[in-house]
A and B are shown apart, each in its own frame.
Chain A
Amino acid sequence: NAGVMQNPRHLVRRRGQEARLRCSPMKGHSHVYWYRQLPEEGLKFMVYLQKENIIDESGMPKERFSAEFPKEGPSILRIQQVVRGDSAAYFCASSQTLGGANTEAFFGQGTRLTVV
């Protein structure tokens, strides 16, 4: 059973371009979380999604950032018109509902975004 897969692992964008980060959850997992980690800082919660639904986006910047988790395919974190301050590691995690309980979340290896 493959773990949480994120791609690309490294992404370089020029200021003003768009960045699209992909996350394929573990097989059978229907919950996806996105986190951002700035250099030398902790992980900051961004958004929590279930299939086709955004459950909690309280950590998402109000502009330029969006996330989706379609019925088919990976979850996508999209950053429009990137700025240097968007440079960070973006981690995705997934979990599943088992026996009515939402189990532990497993993280991918992250996408390191560099804006030049």
Chain B
Amino acid sequence: GAGVSQSPRYKVAKRGQDVALRCDPISGHVSLFWYQQALGQGPEFLTYFQNEAQLDKSGLPSDRFFAERPEGSVSTLKIQRTQQEDSAVYLCASSLGVGRVGNTIYFGEGSWLTVV
């Protein structure tokens, strides 16, 4: 597609509910990133995929967070048993290349999650 697409744009979940956030990266982009942004803060890294391989998940805050990219394109971030502290904007980004080679990263518009 023309840009990184995320859905849903807005999600209100009751505490304890499971949510799934979808990211459709730019076509052909190898690298895919998930970030979490709390109000008034900069984005914080959650996880990184190179094609279908999840190479870095060091930023996932707990085992309630799970991400996948089974076919190397669309990715889903799943949050189980949501808690109020999970309320944030979840940003997906993609880039054409990998590793240290200079790559511009492109962000989607984000999924705004509110847990009540």
Asked whether A and B interact, the reply is no
